[in-house]
Structure 1
Amino acid sequence: MERLLAAVLNRVVRTGNLTVTLASGQQCSFGDGSGPPIAIRFVCPKWQRAVALDPELKLGEAYTDGGVVVEQGSIADLLAVLMAQVGLKPPGVSAKGLSWLRFMARRLAQFNPPRRSRRNVAHHYDLDARLYALFLDADKQYSCAYFEHPGQSLDDAQLAKRRHIAAKLLLDRPELRVLDIGCGWGGLGLYLAQNAGANVTGVTLSEEQLAVAKGRAEEAGLTGNAEFRLQDYRATPGPFDRIVSVGMFEHVGIGHFDTYFQRIAELLTDDGVALVHAIGRSEGPGITNPWIARYIFPGGYIPALSEVLPAIEKAGLYVTDIEILRLHYAETLKCWRERFMAHAEEAERLYDERFVRLWEFYLAASEMAFRHQGMMVFQVQLARKEGVVPMTRSYIAEAETKLKRTEMRNRPGLRLAGE
C-alpha cells in the first residue's frame, strides 16, 4: 500500500516541495522543489491505505485524528500545494468510482425537509457561541466579506459587505418590509433597520443564533424594527418588499432549488427586489466534498450557476444583476483561520485538541478551494417585474455613499466611564 500512496502522490504533486515520511520510516519527495518545504508523516499503515484509496474524505480524517502529522509547514501549506496542482482530479480507480457514486447519490444526501434542515443547522450553528467569537469580526458575520482594497481589515470588509448588499436592495424609502432568510446572529438585519429604516423580519433555524439576534436587537433599541424568529422560510408568511439571503442557499440542497425560488416569488411584492448571496462553483455541477459533508455542513451543496438559473427562470423571476466575488472569500477565510489559530488554546478549552485540528482543516481547505479550485461567491439580484431596478449600476455606488454618511451619524459616541 505504500507503493500505491507514493504512486498517487507522484502523479498528483507536480509542483511544490513535499516530503512524506511513510509509516515504515521511508522518506519520499514529490514536486519540482519550488516553494517552501513541507513535510508530513504517516503514523501507521492504516491511514496510508485510507488516504490512498479515498483522499477526499480520509486526508481530513487522518489529520483530525492524528494519523497524519505535519512536521514542517502547516496543514494550510500542505493543502495549498495539493489543491493548486493543475488539472487535479481524484486519482485512481477507487477514488474516481467513489466520486461517481457520490454524484449519483447527491440528491439523497441533500434531501432537506424542514425537520432535517433544522438538525443540519444545529450541527454547525448551535456550537458554543464563544467559539465564533474567537475568529469572526465584531458583528459576527459568518459569510464572505467584501474587500474594497488590499489590506482592509476584516471588520471594515464585513461592514462594506453589509453596505454593498443594502445598496443592491434599493432601500429607497423608509419602513420597507424586508425578509432576511437565514439571518444568522442578526447583523445584516440590524444594519438594514438602523441605517435604512427598514422593518426587518429575520428567520433562522438555529436556537443559538436566534437568542443572540434577539438580544442584540433589544440592546440596540431596534425591537420595533427588527424581529427575529425560529422559523423555516417555507413557513414564513408574506408579503415583503425586499428579500435578502446571505450564506443560506448553500444549505438548501439541489432537490429544493425550485421550492426556494418559488417561495421567494410568492413572498415578494410585485415591485419587490430580492438578493441572494451564496457560494458557487465555476466549473459546473459537482458534489459536496465528503469530509465537509460529514463533519462540517451535512446536507449542504455549493451549486454552479447553471444549476441555479433554471430554478430562477422556472419561478418566474427576472435576474436583474449578477456579481461574482472571486477571491474575497479566500481572504475572509485566511483572516478567520489566522484568528482561530491565534486562539487555538481557547478553542481547545471549549472543546478538545481534535476539534481544533478539525476546524483548522475546515478553514484551510475552504480557503484553498477559493484560491485554487474555482469556488466563488455570487450575488444574484431578482425582481418580479421589469423596470423595478435602475437601468445602470451607478445607483449602487450612490447608495453606498449615502449609507456611509448614515453609518457615521449612527455610530455611538464616546462616553466617559460611568456615564
Structure 2
Amino acid sequence: MTTKQIVVLGGGVGGTLVANLLAGQLTRKQAQITLIDRTGKHVYQPGWLYVPFGGPPPERWERSERSLLRRSVDLIVGDAVRIEPNERYVEMADGTQIPFDYLIIATGARLEPSAVPGYTEGAHHFYSAEAALRLHAALREFNGGKIVIGVADIPYKCPPAPLEFTFMLEDELRKRGLREKTEITYLSPIGRVFTIESVAQFVTPMMEERGINYELFFNTEQIDPVERTISSLEGTTLPYDLLVLVPPHRGARIISESGLGDGQGWLPTNRETLQHKQFPYIYGLGDATDLPVSKSGAAAHFEAKVIAHRIIGEIKGKPSDERYQGQVMCFLETGYGQATQLVFDYNHPPQPPKPSAYYHYEKALLNRAYWHLVPTGIV
C-alpha cells in the first residue's frame, strides 16, 4: 500500500483539528500528514472581542502551532504561494514543492480594508490583534459623542461579533457614566440587523430597549476621515466621533492566484461533502469556503470531522458517506454579564434562548478550555 500524502494548508481551528483527527486514525504507513502554516502561531480569534474592553491581551490568545499538533503531523512554517491542482503539489515561497494526494485548504479569510476608501485613516475594528489594541486605546479616550458600528460587506467571519461588541459597548459606557452622552448607531448592509432572520428578530427588540439606533440597507461606499462621516451606496451619510466597522473580507490570495476560487477568492465547495467542485481530492474547510453558513471556528469544527472521516474511510478502503449538514454552535454576548446561544444547521434556523449568565459563563469556560478541547479533537 502506497503511503498517501495529505497536506493541510492553514493552522487555524479547522486545519489544526483535521490534521490531529487524521493523525489519530491513520498510521505513518497509511499517510504522511503535513500542515503548512504561514506563522507557526495558532490564534484564538474570538478572544480579540474582549481586548477593546480591557480583557486579556492578544498574546493570551496565542499558542505555538507545534504544541497543539500530534507528534506524527509534520509542520512546515512558511508562505505557500501556489497550488497546482492537476499536478498535485503546493509550492512554497522558496520554490519547494510539497506533493499531495489530498489537499485540505483551511486558509481562512483575509481582511481587505483598502476596499473602502478612507477606511485605514477613519475606522477601527477588532478583527486583528493590532486593531483590537488600537480600539482599546480609542475607547479609553472616548468621553461621549456619536459611535457608529457596522459591517462594511458580507460575508465576514464570526457574524455575531459586531452585535456582541455593540451590546458590550453599551454596557461599558453605562458603567463609565457615558451612556447618556453617547449616541450608538448600528449599520447593516441588508434589510435586518443580522443575516439570519430569527436572530435579527431576537436582537432587534433588545437594541431598541437599550436605545441603540440602527440603519438598514447601509452598504458602505466611503469614509471621510477628515469630516468624520461614513457614506453608503444608497446615499446616506452619517457623522461619527468613533467608527467601528468590520472591514471587507476576501479569500486567501493563494486561492485566487491558483485559479481555484470565485471572484472574491472563496473556494467553490460542495456544501455536504466539502470537496472542491472541480477537484474532488481537494477539500475546503472553514472561512476559506463559499458555503452558505457562518464563517466561524464553530462551523470549521464540525466540517473538520466530516473531512477527516471521509479521507480516513477512503484510505482504509471503507468509504464514508458522512456529510456536513451546516451545523454551527456559538454564543452571542448580550452585555450585562449575559449571553445567548445559537445552534443551527442548513435546515433549522437558531432559536436563541433568553440571555442569561449561564451562557455567558459557558462561553467564558470555552474560551479558557479551547486549547485543551478543540484543536486536539476531544470535543
TM-score normalised to the size of structure 2? 0.28
In our comparison, the structure showing a higher alpha carbon Rg is 1
TM-score normalised to the size of structure 1? 0.26
Higher strand share: 2
